[in-house]
Amino acid sequence: MDAALPSTPTNTALPERLIAHLDMDAFYASVELLRYPDLLGQAVVIGGRRSHAPQTLADGSRSYSRLRDYTGRGVVTTSTYAARDLGVFSGMGLMKAALRAPDAILLPTDFDAYRLYSRLFKAAVAELASVIEDRGIDEIYMDLSDIPGIRDAVAHDPLGGLRAIAREIKNSVFQATGLTCSIGITPNKLLSKIASELDKPDGITLLMAADIQTRIWPLGVRKINGIGPKAAAKLLALGIETVEQLAAAEPLMLIAQFGQSFGAWLHEAAHGRDSRAVVTHSEPVSISRETTFEHDLHAVHDRAELSAIFTRLCEQLASDLLRKGYQGRTIGLKLRFEGFHTVTRDLTLAQPTQDAQAIRRAAGACLKRVPLDKRIRLLGVRVGGLSRPGTPEPAATTKRPRPNGGAAVPRPENLVLF
């Protein structure tokens, strides 16, 4: 399971800081391929409903759903590299994806399995690198600066120690999970995030300050984590499409166009400068659960279905709180209606809770303050004001008054809350 020859920096002097970014390769799809190895090399899209699960036939073979047969409003969670070659990427609507790859296999998401493999790969890495920043289910940062032997030359290779550590981490991940990952190692987090994408899949990219002009500057500005579609569109309107063009732009012009903070950051990022440390622990601000419906639901006609979904979200949220060891005082509700109009409401309790029924009651009270005169496409529940059980709770904050003064919304008699 060894990668192709890793990228080698032109300047072999190692900086004081050595930061790695590890990104699992097509993570969700790769987990599914462990379960369905007969799909290796095929275009596979993850994002279907449970009804799209493979069916085992009488002869022991499997029957798979095809993307062409999908109807609904779901989106692609992820896709294999073969599907990406056909233009299917995460976040794309499944109906649009079906136009590009109608013969692609469609599989449902299985977040329980993905979370399990996430824990496995992170535990494997933790045996080799102790300074780790968890950035989500499929990626982490590591500070490798003080790993023994990392600065040693091996077989006349000045970067041999660094390369050996990277291979050892990748091999440990593979042995623990059967999955491949890509690693970028640079002087800082910003460059490492970019580097981990340069030689995917199953790649190792070593990149130092002297390599910024040759490897980073030719890239499009969207490759810099933090430059989104709106900022990229504005930069393009200014004639700035590549990182090199951004690096050459006058800092004062960028500040005038994007504001002091973001404009100055754009200049620094284009030159590969980033002083952020690897943060080993941070407390979440809130924990939430939400779901987007395959078709818009009506508050009256679909009351039973909405009620069951609402209750399940609250139960899942309570389970998340218990598993992560939190309780919360502020219960929030999120509704997105047809036309993409989104409404949020929240309620602060006298005492923190991690109980599903208490969360359901508080979220239900929030629901009474929302006009339910349009069909609903998304429902979410959130718990904020988090604390650890047995510790002093954070002081309650004063909220701005909500529309209607936070009062219950008058409803027709036939409009029943779910």
Q: Encode 134-148 in three state secondary structure.
A: ECCCCEEEEECCCCC
pTM above 0.85, yes or no: no
| The pLDDT value given to residue 411 | 52
Question: What Å distances lie between residue 130 and 121, 122, 126, 133, 207, CA to CA?
Answer: 14, 11, 5, 10, 22
Report whether 263 contacts 256 (CB < 8 A). yes
Angle at 385 between CA 381 and CA 387, to 5 degrees: 115
Report whether 333 contacts 309 (CB < 8 A). no
| The pLDDT value given to residue 3 | 46
Distance of CA 396 to the CA centre of its chain: 30
| 3.40.50.300, 3.40.605.10, 3.40.630.30, 3.40.1170.60: CATH of 27-109 | 3.40.1170.60
| The pLDDT value given to residue 150 | 83
| 3.40.50.300, 3.30.450.40, 3.40.50.1360, 3.30.70.270: CATH of 19-25+113-215 | 3.30.70.270
The set of catalytic residues is: 139
Helix (H) or strand (E) holding 132: strand 132-134
Q: Which CATH architecture has domain 217-270?
A: Orthogonal Bundle (1.10)
What CATH number is given for 287-406 in this structure?
Answer: 3.30.1490.100
- Portions of the chain given CATH number 3.30.70.270: 19-25+113-215
β-bridge mates for residue 329, sequence order: none
pLDDT tens digit at each of 418 positions of the chain: 444 444 555 445 688 899 999 999 999 999 999 999 999 999 999 997 888 899 989 988 899 999 999 988 888 999 999 999 999 999 899 999 999 999 999 999 999 999 999 999 999 999 989 899 999 999 999 999 988 888 877 777 778 888 889 999 999 999 999 999 999 999 999 999 999 999 999 999 999 999 999 999 999 999 999 999 999 999 999 999 999 999 999 999 999 999 999 999 999 999 999 999 999 877 788 999 988 887 889 988 999 999 999 999 999 999 999 998 999 999 999 999 988 788 999 999 999 999 999 999 999 999 999 999 899 989 999 999 999 997 765 555 444 444 444 556 655 444 446 6
Report whether 382 contacts 312 (CB < 8 A). no
Edge-to-edge strand order for the sheet containing 204-206?
132-134, 139-143, 19-24, 181-186, 204-206
- Portions of the chain given CATH number 1.10.150.20: 217-270
| The pLDDT value given to residue 399 | 47
Amino acid at 17: R
Report whether 349 contacts 331 (CB < 8 A). yes
Q: Nearest Cα to 358, choosing from 394, 401, 311? A: 311
Neighbours of 184 (CB within 10 A): 27
